[in-house]
Amino acid sequence: METILIVDDEKNYLLVLEALLAPEGYEIITTDKAEKALNIIKDSDLDLVITDMKMPGMSGMELLEATKRINPDLPVIMMTAYGTIEMAVEAMKKRAYDYITKPFQNEELKLTVKKALENYRLIKENRLLRKALSDRFRYGSIVGKSKPMLRIYDLIQKVADSKASILISGPSGTGKELIAKAIHFSGPRKDGPFISVNCGALTETLLESELFGHEKGAFTGAIAMKKGRFELADGGTLFLDEVGDMPPSLQVKLLRVLQEMEFERVGGTKTIKVDVRIISASNRNIKEDVAEGLFREDLFYRLHVIQIEVPPLRERRDDIPLLVKHFVDKYTKDNQNKQVELHPDVWKAFYNYSWPGNVRELENVIERAVVLSSGGIITVEDLPEELTNAQVELEAERFVPPGMPLPQALEKIEERLIRRALSECNNVQAHAAAKLGITKSLMQHKMKKYSIVI
Ligand SMILES: Nc1ncnc2c1ncn2[C@@H]1O[C@H](COP(=O)(O)OP(=O)(O)OP(=O)(O)O)[C@@H](O)[C@H]1O
Ligand SMILES: [Mg+2]
């Protein structure tokens, strides 16, 4: 049932309006003071306010303004016995839904009320829809709506309930750890521990005792028994970060533990059994490491029963707007809810930049820009130099060996740009050509020249 609040200092009007509208199936609340009305508006879930314009104390116009501050979408219909057009215009400017003049025609009033309620219903539905849409484009704290990200959400859901080992691969800052946590927290182990260990940051001996723990006196400095991460993760998930950097001797030990789910602490003899789900991550291409004999093939197959590949941000630019919004919200909250907009040139810079540091870099850029921005707008001046400086130059340095003659260097860059445009356009030549501002036939000619096969 929809609820209407009616405010008028003349009690007779309250009675008349209630008698008129209650039979239409609305719930009616009445009050003769705007101040009281305001409290009701704050505390209840209303669908419409009908208020008199001229009242002692707070006026109808003030009530309108206060209501719009509380809920800008809630419709307010103004009533006035002083049906001057100026007042009505002013109320409409202040976003009143409509106004009626006293004495009013019953049917006209009923119709205005019906339209206002219908309109509000639509606004509410839209709000829900928007919320539902935005929920679809996030998974826990992961944000993104590009095809690869939607696929990743799907995968997370599918693998969360199983115990299969997962290998998440992707360049630095793409959100691998976030995904690992999302898998853990959407599965049956969510109340168990999520323990992570960085396999690249420690020496071999330290990493071994970090993973498996050690007994008192196992080595110099082992003054007390220490549980390893495997033991701590019992009943939960162990996240092996940078697993590709694990030294070969430990790879053998890890393999055994993964097969048996049992091990001994360093310097110990007691066998410890655990129930741990393994999620690992790497920004190296482990498959290549396997081919080069740097990573054990058997371990690789153990770890990547299921593989999740996270593409670099430049290959999923569709995610940029949502991520920007997400981080702007996050950092304006940290900065006294500072309201900020982005200048169109900032968006342009974001779209054109190659984001070598991926989402982490975007997050840092936004945090910095929110702090630096003034006047409620982020401009290119608030961005770090690398985003605005000649990007081609930067890119060029990476692909052109020093000392290469200019004509060859330019060709290298041209080839690079064409390849990139193609990959960004899913190999649709016409789109890639349009992106580069050349004709499709010129594009094909260049592809032949550089032996680009798609
Ligand atoms: N899709 C995303 N939505 C929201 N935040 C993200 C997303 N991807 C990454 N981030 C944020 O970016 C930062 C880096 O993410 P994370 O640590 O998960 O990356 P990573 O792939 O593990 O990087 P590295 O290889 O350097 O360890 C974190 O602050 C994370 O919250
Ligand atoms: Mg990480």
Measured in whole angstroms, the distance separating CA 315 from the mean position of its chain's CA atoms is: 17
Residue 401 in tokens: 């060996």
Q: Cα–Cα distance between 61 and 69 in angstroms, integer? A: 13
Q: How far is the CA of 15 from the centre of ligand 1 (A)?
A: 61
Instruction: Find the ligand nearest to 310 CA.
Output: 1
CATH number of 3-133: 3.40.50.2300
pLDDT (0 to 100) of residue 424: 81
For residue 390, the model assigns a pLDDT of 42
In 301-364, the DSSP E strands lie at 306-309, 341-342
Which atom of ligand 1 is found nearest the CA of 283? Answer: 25
Q: Does domain 314-388 correspond to CATH entry 3.30.70.100?
A: no
Does the 143-309 domain belong in CATH 3.40.50.300?
yes
Q: Specify the pTM.
A: 0.62
Atom number, ligand 1, closest to the C-alpha of residue 177 = 18
Q: 3-state DSSP call for residue 154?
A: helix
Task: Give the pair of three-digit tokens for residue 272.
Answer: 């410890």
Residue 143 CA, closest ligand 1 atom number: 3
For residue 192, the SS3 value is coil
Q: Which two tokens stand for residue 18?
A: 């209630």
What are the sequence ranges of the domains in the chain? 3-133, 143-309, 314-388, 391-449
By C-alpha distance, which of 178, 133, 186, 115 is closest to 359? 178
173 C-alpha vs ligand 1 centroid, how far in Å? 5
The full length of the chain comes to: 454
**Which CATH class for the 391-449 domain?**
mainly alpha
Pocket of ligand 1 (CB under 6 A): 141-144, 170, 172-178, 283, 323, 326, 359-360, 363
Going from the Cα of 361 to the center of ligand 2, the distance in angstroms, rounded, reads 13
Q: Which two tokens stand for residue 99?
A: 């106004």
Side-chain half-sphere exposure of 133, counting CA atoms within 13 A: 7
Q: Give residue 83's pLDDT.
A: 61
pLDDT of residue 69: 93
Question: Which ligand 1 atom is the nearest neighbour of the CA of 319?
Answer: 1
Residue-level pLDDT at 395: 52
Distance 230 CA to ligand 2 centre (A): 19
Instruction: Give Cα separations from 243 to 27, 136, 238, 280, 286 (angstroms).
Output: 63, 31, 12, 6, 9
Cβ pair 112, 98 in contact under 8 A: yes
Closest CA to 215 of 204, 200, 199, 231: 231
Q: Which residues contact 119 (CB under 8 A, 6 or more apart)?
A: 75, 97
The reply to whether 314-388 and 391-449 are identical in fold is no
- Nearest bound ligand to the CA of residue 362: 1
**What pLDDT sits at residue 136?**
67
CA of 241 to the centre of ligand 2 (A): 6
Closest ligand 1 atom, residue 138 Cα = 3
pLDDT for 218 equals 83
Residue 179 Cα to ligand 2 midpoint, Å, equals 10
DSSP of 268-308: ---EEE---EEEEEESS-HHHHHHTTSS-HHHHHHHTSEEE
Pocket probe for ligand 1: among 360, 361, 366, 367, the residue whose CB has the most ligand atoms within 8 Å is 360
* Residue in 137, 141, 178 to alter for ligand 1 test, most ligand atoms within 8 A of Cβ: 178
CA distance 188 to 186: 7
Structure tokens at 393: 């130059």
Report phi then psi at 148, rounded to 5. Answer: -60, -35
pLDDT by residue for the chain (454 residues), tens only, comes to 899 999 999 999 999 999 999 999 999 999 999 999 999 999 999 999 999 998 999 999 999 999 999 999 999 999 987 666 778 788 888 999 998 888 888 998 999 999 999 889 878 876 766 665 566 677 888 999 899 999 999 999 999 999 999 999 999 999 999 999 999 999 999 999 999 999 988 888 899 999 999 999 888 888 899 999 999 999 999 999 999 999 988 999 999 999 999 999 999 999 999 999 999 999 988 988 999 988 999 999 999 999 999 999 999 998 998 899 889 988 988 767 677 888 888 888 898 889 999 999 999 999 999 999 988 889 999 999 888 864 444 455 556 766 778 888 888 888 888 988 888 888 888 888 988 889 888 999 999 998 888 7
d(CA 221, CA 106): 90
Q: Which ligand is nearest to the CA of 174?
A: 1
Looking from the CA of residue 310, the nearest atom of ligand 1 is 21
Q: How far is the CA of 450 from the centre of ligand 2 (A)?
A: 36
CA dihedral of 418, 419, 421, 425, whole degrees rounded to 10: 140
Q: Ligand 1 atom 5: the closest Cα is on which residue?
A: 142
Nearest CA to ligand 1 atom 16: 175
Alpha-carbon distance of 165 to 258, in angstroms, equals: 9
Sign of CA dihedral 243, 245, 249, 250: negative
Alpha-carbon gap, residue 56 to 344, rounded angstroms:
48
* Peptide bond preceding 312 in cis form (omega within 30 of 0): no
Cα separation, 382 vs 268, in Å, equals 57
Ligand 2 centroid, distance to 171 Cα (angstroms): 9
Ligand 2 centroid – CA 142 distance (Å)? 14
**Residues whose CB falls within 8 Å of the CB of residue 321, separated by 6 or more in sequence, listed in order:** none
What DSSP element (H or E) covers 381? none
**Amino acid 452: pLDDT:** 87
CA 339 to chain centre: 19
The pLDDT score that the predictor gives to residue 226 is: 92
Residue 397 confidence (pLDDT): 58
CB atoms near residue 372 (< 10 Å):
12
